[in-house]
């Protein structure tokens, strides 16, 4: 982390135009922002830059327009929310790839400018150098505040840095500082909770972390594969076929590194996501049952481990938390982590959009040491991979 270029606190940026790569890839419904967490997280950082009399160009992507089409993915929908949060008029820039844009920004009496969805340009994902230079020509300084996008070699993340003075922002510094606690400064015992639906997307993560932690708790739909592997019925529950060798490998690594692998001992099942569930031991699961959450005894076991732990990493909810009927497991775990963190008994780090949403739903977001909203970048860093968006910002 110390080898990244960062903007000095005493560097004079008065009158400078800053190209600020942010992550405003946020949920929108019927043209309105329904979760502004990522914007609010950037408020103090942006205001600090504005207080130094800089002008800021905000650049983000929204969704996957090259794959799904542009409809409903304009960042113009985010403009009103930004104006409400910052109490300032914001200039929305749609056609900005021309020589006049930079002068127009410099001469404007406005301070904040928002580019249209950068992914509307196919050159963004192609990391096209000509397009990268056009972006760089808009500003004097580039700052990356989008750790969540730093695993992508895109024009606004890596290509642009070839043509402009570039820095890692505060959010990247804070993110890496928090993540490094897990590996370099962690107090033991260390617990890792991994949830979500697919083992295949997290096999590298589990294999890497299992060598470094004392307890590995598996939850969410991916736990169904472990339950099935142990010769229990899973009914009509979600699972990934042909993952027996993967599970065998995980169990083997856990034994080799003396990591205790925890899977659910009971679950909450229903025949429909809209019908209240029943708590069942694994041996009681029937052919029409669908597993939607961890059970009472599993929550008790996880709670005992959390109470033993000094450091905890959480990625992936433990059940179908979006439905109140099946949010109990994630809620109870989030609340206990919050209590222990606030009592200074635990350093707790959570990452991934769904995990952050589950913690927010449990009203526990103020009780974690750090919550990352990054998904892929968070996982790839934990897997030990080099992130291209950070590599280009090294000194």
Residue 91 lies in a domain: yes
Mean pLDDT in runs of 10 for the chain (395 residues)?
80 94 92 89 94 96 90 93 95 92 94 97 97 97 95 97 96 85 78 86 84 94 94 94 92 96 97 95 97 98 97 93 95 97 94 87 92 80 87 93
Task: Determine contact, residues 332/306, Cβ cutoff 8 Å.
Answer: no
Quick one: pLDDT at residue 94? 93
Query: Are 190 and 216 in a shared domain?
Result: yes
The rounded distance, in Å, linking the Cα atoms of 184 and 177 is: 10
Q: Is 388 a member of any domain?
A: no
Q: Is 391 a domain residue?
A: no
How many distinct structural domains can be found in the chain?
A: 2
My answer on whether 163 and 205 are in the same domain is: no
258 and 155 in one domain? Answer: no
Q: Please report the pLDDT score of residue 183 as a whole number.
A: 67
What whole-number distance in Å separates Cα of residue 231 and Cα of residue 228? Answer: 5
Q: Which of 62, 59, 57, 58 is nearest to 28 (CA)?
A: 62
* Same domain assignment for residues 167 and 191: no
Q: Looking at the structure, do residues 152 and 56 belong to the same domain, yes or no?
A: yes
> Buried b vs exposed e over 359-390: b needs ≥16 C-beta within 10 Å?
bebbebbebbebbbbbbebbbbbbeeeebbbb
Give the end of a domain, one of 123, 143, 172. Answer: 172
* 219 and 150 housed in the same domain: no
Residue 216: inside a domain? yes
Residue holding tokens 């260390």?
190
Range of the domain at 336: 186-382
Q: Is 246 part of a structural domain of the chain?
A: yes
d(CA 372, CA 385): 17
What dihedral do alpha carbons 331, 333, 334, 338 form, nearest 10°?
130
């Amino acid at each position: 982390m110390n080898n990244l270029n960062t903007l000095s606190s005493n560097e004079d940026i008065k009158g400078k135009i800053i190209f600020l790569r942010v992550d405003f890839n946020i949920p929108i419904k019927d043209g309105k922002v329904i979760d502004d967490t990522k914007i609010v997280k950037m408020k103090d950082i942006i205001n600090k830059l504005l207080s130094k009399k800089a002008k800021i160009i905000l650049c983000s992507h929204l969704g996957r327009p090259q794959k799904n089409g542009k409809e409903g993915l304009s960042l113009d929908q985010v403009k009103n929310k930004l104006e409400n949060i910052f109490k300032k008029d914001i200039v929305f820039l749609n056609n900005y790839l021309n020589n006049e844009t930079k002068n127009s920004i410099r001469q404007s009496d406005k301070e904040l400018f928002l580019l249209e969805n950068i992914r509307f340009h196919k050159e963004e994902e192609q990391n096209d150098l000509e397009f990268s230079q056009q972006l760089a020509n808009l500003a004097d300084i580039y700052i990356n505040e989008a750790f969540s996008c730093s695993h992508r070699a895109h024009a606004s993340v890596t290509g642009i840095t070839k043509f402009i003075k570039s820095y890692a922002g505060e959010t990247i510094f804070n993110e890496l500082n928090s993540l490094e606690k897990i590996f370099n400064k962690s107090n033991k015992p260390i617990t890792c909770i991994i949830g979500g639906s697919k083992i295949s997307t997290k096999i590298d993560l589990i294999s890497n972390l299992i060598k470094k932690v004392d307890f590995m708790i598996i939850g969410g739909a991916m736990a169904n594969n472990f339950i099935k592997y142990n010769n229990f019925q899973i009914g009509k529950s979600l699972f990934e076929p042909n993952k027996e060798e993967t599970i065998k490998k995980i169990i083997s690594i856990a034994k080799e590194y003396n990591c205790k692998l925890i899977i659910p001992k009971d679950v909450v099942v229903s025949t429909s996501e809209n019908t209240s569930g029943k708590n069942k031991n694994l041996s009681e699961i029937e052919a029409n049952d669908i597993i939607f959450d961890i059970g009472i005894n599993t929550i008790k076991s996880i709670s005992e481990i959390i109470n033993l732990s000094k450091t905890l990493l959480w990625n992936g909810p433990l059940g179908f938390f979006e439905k109140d009927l099946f949010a109990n497991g994630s809620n109870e775990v989030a609340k206990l982590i919050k209590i222990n963190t606030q009592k200074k008994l635990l350093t707790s780090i959570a990452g991934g959009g769904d995990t952050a949403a589950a913690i927010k739903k449990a009203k526990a977001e103020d009780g974690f040491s750090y919550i990352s909203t990054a998904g892929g970048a968070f996982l790839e860093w934990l897997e030990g991979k080099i992130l291209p968006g950070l590599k280009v910002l090294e000194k």
